Amino acid sequence: MKASILFLIALTLSGCSIFRSNIGTKLDTGLSIALIADTQVTSPYKGKNKFRTIEADFIVNVAIRTTAQEELSLKHLRLLLEDIGEQNVDIITYLGDGANSGCKDEVSGFFKVLEESRARLQKPLFFVIGNHDYLATGNQPSIEALEDTCSEKNGFVSKLDLIRIVQKFNLDSFNQYKGDYLLSFKDNVEDLSNECLLSIVENQQKSGCFYGAIITYLKNGISGELILADSSDYKDIDVQPALLRNDFYGHRGSISWKGESQTSWFISNFGNPTVRIIATHYPIENLAYVSAGPIGRPGDLLLKGRHSNLWLTGHSHEKNADDVIFTHKIGSGDEKRFTTQINVGSTTDFTPHFSIATSVEKRVIKKSFTSIEKIGSKSCELMLDSLGAFDLLQVLDVQHSQQDRLGLTGLYRNKNYNTENARRNINTLLDSVSEDDKGKLIRCMMYEASKNESELRSVL
């Protein structure tokens, strides 16, 4: 909490202004873009990490999630992507934290769903790296923490491993589904420094190992660049005021900008489009470092002109899937620039959803869709209430409800709670119903579990 307060003070000093609004600055991107983020697929293998404990969950109420949220995350992601397919979007962006701890089974399972859904939808789907995708529980770079979190049997994905996975996925998206509007694709993988390629796993997040890509497009008469930036690039983490210096990776994001950096790679490869769309995991307010030169670095260096920018982000785990977006003013005088930011939050926590960013009358707007849009909350409640007849395994020795047995409640905070039985109950139930009802059940269980999770008390 203290670190968060200090960060807000520094943000105020930086001159990076944030305005809440329902529409963005005057801007026509020419595209309709789907936003989805933070599924945080969690390995069922039991690890030993102090940041995934009941005690940690009382401090930050996403350290652990209900068993239903963790067990159904991949199935639910598949359904959300099906829903996106009905919206006739041009591009789908996944804004990081597909995995929870960067474990091998989390990463492979997540990208398998993305690949299968992409093939079914026949749409380009691009991924940006989040802190949870390779740093154990989002903040631990040490080998010991990675091994403890993912377990020896499972194994973990290093930053360099992840870069190669993401490069192949994004390049395949461009080559196979570019249509007639995506024009070119360039990433930095061939330019990775020896410092990155030769660094040990513990140092890869701060040794110049980053993944960046630039995709150019021409759509509806608008020329643009889609920038996929790595906001877990901590090479310049020490270039900040002493009051913010913090080796707790994941607490905030970073895009390197000093010398040979991610920012310099982008600048050397930028074109001169009408519009620049920047996609990162972390929101702008988590990236603005106080430094010499223009205020709000490194974000200001990535922007084009005064009113030609759209920034897409995840990470925030906002409670409500509303349509409010942000306008940021970065810098002052001749260096003053604006960007509209659309944050999708977590599409798993609170109200499961995805969002779409598009332009109407040359203004960017955001619209969010819940995963129970077609079912309705009342129908979900009736469906879940009807499950009392199912014979399910106990998850505690004391009396508890069917919702408890299906992992839909906060009962997982009880130290005697049997997670394995709850997982078995979920899958036994799903195996007993038709395919159509299975999809409805997954949506309704995720909705109910997310609602119950959001009501649990925590310090932060």
> Do the domain assignments include residue 460?
no
3-class secondary structure per residue, 382-412: HHHHHHHHCCCCCCCCCCCCHHHHCCCCHHH
On whether the CB atoms of residues 82 and 435 are closer than 8 A, the answer is no
Q: Are 128 and 214 contained in the same domain?
A: yes
Distance CA(356)–CA(310), nearest Å, equals 13
Q: What mean pLDDT is reported for the chain?
A: 88
Strand, coil or helix: 173: helix
Q: Is the pLDDT at 292 greater than 50, yes or no?
A: no
Q: Are 10 and 153 contained in the same domain?
A: yes
DSSP alpha helices (H): ranges in 86-158? 104-121, 143-150
**Backbone torsion region of residue 345, taken as left when φ is above 0, otherwise alpha when ψ lies between -120 and 50, otherwise beta:** left
Q: How many domains does the chain fold into? A: 2
> Do the domain assignments include residue 459?
no
Distance CA(317)–CA(457), nearest Å, equals 15
On whether the CB atoms of residues 182 and 173 are closer than 8 A, the answer is no
Distance CA(311)–CA(309), nearest Å, equals 7
On whether the CB atoms of residues 146 and 107 are closer than 8 A, the answer is no
Q: Are 337 and 422 contained in the same domain?
A: no
> Do the domain assignments include residue 358?
yes
> Do the domain assignments include residue 92?
yes
- pLDDT for the residue numbered 193: 92
Section 320-337 average pLDDT: 74
Q: Pairing relation of β-strands 17-21 and 325-330? A: antiparallel
On whether the CB atoms of residues 124 and 179 are closer than 8 A, the answer is yes
Of 68-72, 222-226, 381-385, the one with minimum mean pLDDT is 381-385
pLDDT in tens, 394-408: 999 988 899 999 999
Q: Are 69 and 209 contained in the same domain?
A: yes
Q: Which residue has the higher pLDDT, 386 or 186?
A: 186
Ordered strands of the 213-219 beta sheet: 17-21, 325-330, 337-343, 309-313, 275-279, 222-228, 213-219, 182-187
Q: Are 331 and 414 contained in the same domain?
A: no
- pLDDT for the residue numbered 88: 93
> Which among 18-27, 283-292, 363-372, 442-451 has the top mean pLDDT?
442-451
pLDDT in tens, 296-312: 577 778 988 777 899 99
- pLDDT for the residue numbered 252: 83
The owner of tokens 């979007």 is 89
* Containing structural domain, residue 403: 377-454
> Do the domain assignments include residue 393?
yes
- pLDDT for the residue numbered 431: 95
Section 210-223 average pLDDT: 98
- pLDDT for the residue numbered 22: 56
CA distances to 175, 223, 446 from 183, rounded to whole Å, are 10, 10, 38
Distance CA(287)–CA(240), nearest Å, equals 11
Of 27-36, 285-294, 356-365, 397-406, the one with minimum mean pLDDT is 285-294
- pLDDT for the residue numbered 11: 36
- Closest by alpha carbon to 266, among 240, 297, 303, 296? 303
Q: Are 344 and 440 contained in the same domain?
A: no
Q: What is the DSSP letter of 258?
A: S
Greatest alpha-carbon pair distance for the chain in Å reads 69
Of 351, 370, 389, the residue that ends a domain is 370
Q: Are 272 and 211 contained in the same domain?
A: yes
Of 21-30, 134-143, 254-263, 400-409, the one with minimum mean pLDDT is 21-30
φ, ψ dihedrals at 387, nearest 5°:
-85, 5
pLDDT in tens, 432-457: 999 989 999 999 999 999 999 988 87
> Do the domain assignments include residue 362?
yes
Q: Is the pLDDT at 293 greater than 50, yes or no?
A: no
Listing DSSP states for 293-309 in one string gives SSTTBTHHHH--TTT-E
- What are the CB-based long-range contacts (under 8 Å, 24+) for 267-272? 267/301, 269/186, 269/214, 270/214, 270/225, 270/304, 271/214, 271/216, 271/225
Categorize the per-residue pLDDT at 73 as very low, low, confident or very high, splitting at 50, 70 and 90. very high
Of 30-34, 36-40, 174-178, 236-240, the one with minimum mean pLDDT is 236-240
Categorize the per-residue pLDDT at 17 as very low, low, confident or very high, splitting at 50, 70 and 90. low
Of 352, 370, 388, the residue that ends a domain is 370
Token duo for residue 449: 């579990």
Section 238-253 average pLDDT: 60
Q: Are 137 and 273 contained in the same domain?
A: yes
On whether the CB atoms of residues 288 and 299 are closer than 8 A, the answer is yes
CATH number of the domain encompassing residue 222: 3.60.21.10
Section 66-94 average pLDDT: 98
Q: Is the pLDDT at 246 greater than 60, yes or no?
A: no
The owner of tokens 């020329």 is 223
Q: Is the pLDDT at 10 greater than 50, yes or no?
A: no
Q: Which residues contact 199 (CB under 8 A, 6 or more apart)?
A: 207, 209
pLDDT over 90, % of the chain: 64
Tell me how crowded residue 412 is: count the other CB atoms within 10 A of its CB. 24
The whole-angstrom distance between residue 158's C-alpha and the CA centroid of its chain comes to 18
Section 286-295 average pLDDT: 55
On whether the CB atoms of residues 235 and 204 are closer than 8 A, the answer is no
> Do the domain assignments include residue 180?
yes
Distance CA(130)–CA(402), nearest Å, equals 35
Q: Are 360 and 392 contained in the same domain?
A: no
Q: Are 318 and 381 contained in the same domain?
A: no
Q: Is the pLDDT at 1 greater than 80, yes or no?
A: no
Categorize the per-residue pLDDT at 274 as very low, low, confident or very high, splitting at 50, 70 and 90. very high
Distance CA(410)–CA(42), nearest Å, equals 17
Q: Is the pLDDT at 381 greater than 90, yes or no?
A: yes
Q: Are 385 and 236 contained in the same domain?
A: no
Q: Which residue has the higher pLDDT, 151 or 125?
A: 125
On whether the CB atoms of residues 346 and 61 are closer than 8 A, the answer is no
Of 318, 353, 370, the residue that ends a domain is 370
Give strand pairing partners of 140: 136
Of 106-110, 350-354, 382-386, 455-459, the one with minimum mean pLDDT is 455-459
- pLDDT for the residue numbered 247: 52
Section 303-323 average pLDDT: 82
On whether the CB atoms of residues 396 and 410 are closer than 8 A, the answer is no
Q: Are 72 and 119 contained in the same domain?
A: yes
Q: Which amino acid is at 446?
A: M
